Chains A and B, each alone.
Chain A
Amino acid sequence: MAGADVFAMDPDEVHKSVEILFEIEAEVDRATAAVADANAAASGPLTAAGTALGPALEAAGEWWRVQRAGGFCGLVGNTGEYLAACAQEAVEVDDYNSGTFASLAGELYPDRPNAGASSRPDW
């Protein structure tokens, strides 16, 4: 993305947004895992009872966890990491990748999976 006529940023406020995004990502992931576990537990007896619902329910719960809630979490986390990199140094969307986060803002969010990637030997 190119050519912003106006640019104003309060990095602290942007970092607060990042923290909220990461919180939501973690909380959605946790709650989804819980409902998916309950789903899997209930689908077992249904499958054993010869229902068509049992296997369909198990597949639906896993699909929801990985594809839909998982997709949402991925998007929220990705946006958070992008904003974290932006708050450290103006980054264009087109130039951004997860390595950018690791190199610019990873140390601020040490719990992120790729936060320390820049210190790895293969970086």
Chain B
Amino acid sequence: MSEMTWQQLRDLDCGAVRALGDSWKTYVDGMLDHTARLRTDVIEGHLGVENYESDTATQVREQIGLTADRFEDDLSDYATTRIATSLHEAADAFEAEQGELKELVPLIESHDFDIEGPQSEYDVNLSGGLHQAILTLNPPQWLCDMVGIKKPDGFWDWDTLKSLFSSVDLYGTAIGLAGQYQDWLRAVMARAHDADDDAAAALKEMRENPSGLPPHLGATYDDLIDDYKDALSSEVADEARAIADGTSGMSPEQVNQWWEGLSDAEREALIAEHPEWVGPVDGIPTEARDTANRTLLDNRIDSLDDQIAAKERTLAGLDPESDAYERVKQDLDNLKGDRKDLSELQAIITDEDGNPAMSDKAGEQHYLLGFDTEGSGQAIVAVGNPDTADHVNTLVPGTTTALAGIGGSINRADTMSLDAQNAAPGDANATVMWLGYDAPDTIFPEAMQKRWADGAAEDLENFTRGLTATGQEGANHTLTGHSYGTTVIGHAATQRGVDADNLVFVASPGVGTDTASALGVDEQNVWATTNSLDPIQLTPEFLHGNNPIDDDFGGNTFHSDTGAWNDNNHSTYWQDTNQVGRDSIAYIATGNRPQ
């Protein structure tokens, strides 16, 4: 577990970590020269058939080839993907958080706050000096400015009296600012610890289940070589299973490197024979995931049909008045519900000829990146290919979004894609509808709770990192949340970190932090909007923190028009009545600012 303090993070030499990663890459390049030499100078050279021909010679040439293959795989899988990439990812993550500390710590110190507590839960409190200054009616200038009073300069002058009468505001303002800095510091350290633990896990898992080595030539060789070849044939499958199970410790970037290192035949075999190890995995390219997930969806529907038929047969033999009948009937209804939901999803993403369907508005192909029927169900559907897009906008929907009726959320993604096309004609864009979490089913009590957002944080982090790994270099990534989806984004951004250039909070009840600074994305690229008739703005701050449309949150806002007065104005943001708000989202998502 990472036990780094903020001071240790501040003082860490990230350049040395990155340089070590570079050293490993240079080392790998040198080692590959040696394996190449084994093939050219030995197998095909001095030990060629013209110089040495016999069964033994053939066996030795094969042994040298196996040895070279093994070392090349090790150099790729371990030295490059695991060690060098872990070092580079850790250096990047540590350096980003160091940058935050360099901005934050001087602010804390200049406002006379103290950092206290253990590294996992730092507190930022008013210093004794600041307490005394407020109590003695001599508040610092910055605090007077924030509260809007003049700094007292005499004993019992008018400003001193105003200060006395404003002492509650002075304290409240100082504590509020300290709280924002505390949120910021905790988020910085949470992300740094997460990156540290992830890098350590990738290295640890590497050592836990290594691939075997070819046996040495000698007495036991004939007994062992077949076992080695058998293990070799299942090695890719074993790796794929560990990655899909989440036991490999690999980041999405590392998964992507692993995938790109496979042969075409190995990739095709995995998609065909084990789509369950391909479809849900962040870091595997979109086309492969889509193909695998469509197979999984077909299989799941077929399986549900079989289960439904079996339940119906069972039901026919039961007494309709019995408890057993009621139980089986309930199971049958659940299965039929899942069957209906998945069929609707299939109908959206598939055309009449069974091919991937194009979206109605943007005319972009649908890609299925994940689905599940657990809980209220999940689905991840892209409108347009994120891997080839210049701009990728990921929509995270909120409370009551479920697999049932998922078409509404996909339709919003289609609308966003069309808006992005209009905002940046000629650029390739994709919009992903990410219901990769179990969303709250009710406003009260579920949407009042943060556990749904906490439960989604790691998955959203990995999804955004996967998009970066498989996408175009330099592509513009935006995360757009609606309602509780904004809370999900906020929790992921502060606890784990997200790969996003822009954050857009639409109709937010709060994002789990009081300040845009804690989100790990430049505050200039944090945006929020809520229309004037949306009751979400009445959400009390103690539930999910400052509302991001508030001035003191520190981000930017843009205007959204309301629908009709009797509409549910929490859900009118993607309607034609709010073209101004839709355009603003599109400008942000295409790398511009709202006009």
Contacts and interface: CB of A to CB of B under 8 A. Distances in A.
A68 B60 contact: no
A52 B1 contact: yes
Nearest to A14: B52
Interface string A49-62: 11111011101110
Interface in A34-56: 34-35, 38-39, 42, 45-46, 49-53, 55-56
Contacts of B218: 78, 82, 93-94, 96-97
Contact of B207 (A8, A16, A63): A63
Given A17-B42, A72-B67, A50 B200 contact: no
B217 A53 contact: no
Could you say which interface size class chain B belongs to?
35 or more
Contacts of A104: none
A85 to B, nearest CB: 10
Interface in B9-26: 9, 11-13, 16-17, 20, 23-24
A60 B11 contact: no
Nearest to B12: A49
Given A50-B119, A60-B206, A79-B60, 5 more contacts: A3-B55, A9-B53, A14-B47, A51-B4, A56-B201
B287 interface: no
Interface stretch (B78-86, B166-174, B548-556, B575-583): B78-86
16 contacts: A6-B53, A9-B57, A14-B51, A31-B31, A35-B27, A49-B8, A49-B11, A53-B86, A56-B199, A57-B83, A57-B87, A60-B82, A60-B83, A68-B74, A78-B216, A79-B67
Nearest to A58: B203
A122 interface: no
A55 B196 CA distance: 11
Contacts of B222: 1, 93-94
Interface residues of A, number: 60
A3 B164 CA distance: 105
A14 B46 contact: yes
A71 B11 CA distance: 38
A64 B83 contact: yes
B210 interface: yes
Interface in A69-101: 69, 71-72, 74-76, 78-79, 82-83, 86, 90, 92-97
A79 B214 CA distance: 11
Contacts, number: 188
A21 B68 CA distance: 11
A28 interface: yes
A119 B74 CA distance: 38
A93 B20 contact: no
B2 interface: yes
Given A3-B55, A49-B12, A20 B23 contact: no
Interface stretch (B33-41, B142-150, B452-460): B33-41
Given A13-B46, A27-B34, A38 B217 contact: no
A79 B4 contact: no
A76 B42 CA distance: 11
Contacts of A4: 54-56
B158 interface: no
B96 interface: no
A29 B79 CA distance: 15
Contacts of B23: 35, 38
Nearest to A21: B42
Nearest to A45: B13
A28 B67 CA distance: 13
A78 B66 CA distance: 14
A108 interface: no
Identify the 3 closest CB pairs spanning chains A and B, nearest first.
A52-B200, A13-B51, A56-B200
Nearest to B41: A20
Contacts of A59: 203-204, 207
> By CB atoms of chain B within 10 A, which of A10, A39, A60, A63 has the most?
A60
A93 B56 contact: yes
Contacts of B78: 64, 68
A17 B50 CA distance: 13
Contacts of B3: 50-52
B345 interface: no
Contacts of B82: 60
A32 B83 CA distance: 14
A100 B34 CA distance: 27
B225 to A, nearest CB: 10
A45 B14 CA distance: 11
Contacts of B196: 51-53
Contacts of B86: 53
A104 B53 CA distance: 21
B64 interface: yes
Contacts of B52: 8-10, 13-14
Contacts of A14: 46-47, 51-52
Contacts of B221: 93-94
Given A6-B53, A8-B54, A57-B203, A96 B4 contact: no
A64 to B, nearest CB: 6
B40 to A, nearest CB: 10
B63 interface: yes
Contacts of A42: 16-17, 20
Contact of A82 (B27, B60, B74): B60
B90 interface: yes
Contacts of B213: 71-72, 75
Contacts of A3: 55
B5 interface: yes
B219 interface: yes
Nearest to B74: A68
B442 interface: no
Contact of A72 (B47, B71, B197): B71
B572 to A, nearest CB: 47
A93 B230 CA distance: 20
A123 to B, nearest CB: 18
B30 interface: yes
Contacts of B422: none
Contact of A56 (B5, B57, B64, B204): B204
